[in-house]
Amino acid sequence: KSVNLFSGISYYSPIEEEWWIEAKENGVSYGKLQFHEGYDSQAMGFGFRIDDENGNLLGVMRVLVSIEDLLLDISGEAEIVNNQNRNVILLDDEGRIIFSNGIQDTTDTKPVSYYQQIVDGKNIGVLELEDQGDDIKLISYAKSTGYKTFEGFDWTVIIEQNNSSIVDEF
């Protein structure tokens, strides 16, 4: 933030910020999910390069999108989310829960206990964990791999279910 000495008007110039530089150079940038007071929620910033008809830079536009809007399609409409025998979880790039039976606050939370096994595994996989009693908990996961030039958010979708619940469905 700077102040014009003649008019006393302050203005903000983001041209030295990482998101602005990245969007200028790559056409798009996206930040990490973090709490934003204006939304009273977690949100993610996206930057988009704007060019004129000759491809010359006009500027960069930044948009904040709330976690509620990002997860609108899975926050209650998807059939798999509403299945009582399964728990659908979305993890951020550090293994913290973003979504589990609703949107979660990742502030000061720790990664799920089995996150390192997912990091060390393939893009899609299944883990078997001992659950309470004689049952086995199945953890099916898929890592975000992106699409074309978009690298993805490095999030992971997980479906937790007990081995016995699979048999019960048959």
- CA torsion sign, 11 to 16 to 18 to 21? positive
Question: Does the pLDDT of residue 106 top 70, yes or no?
Answer: yes
pLDDT value of residue 57: 94
Read off the pLDDT of residues 49-105 as tens digits, 9 standing for 90 and up: 999 999 999 999 999 888 888 887 665 555 555 556 778 889 998 999 988 877 777
pLDDT: which is higher, 35 or 74: 35
Q: Which tens digit of pLDDT belongs to each residue from 1-25?
A: 544 556 656 666 777 889 899 999 9
In order of 51, 73, 119, the CA distances from 25 in angstroms are 12, 31, 30
Can you give the pLDDT at residue 153? 84
Please give the model's pTM, rounded to 2 decimal places.
Answer: 0.71
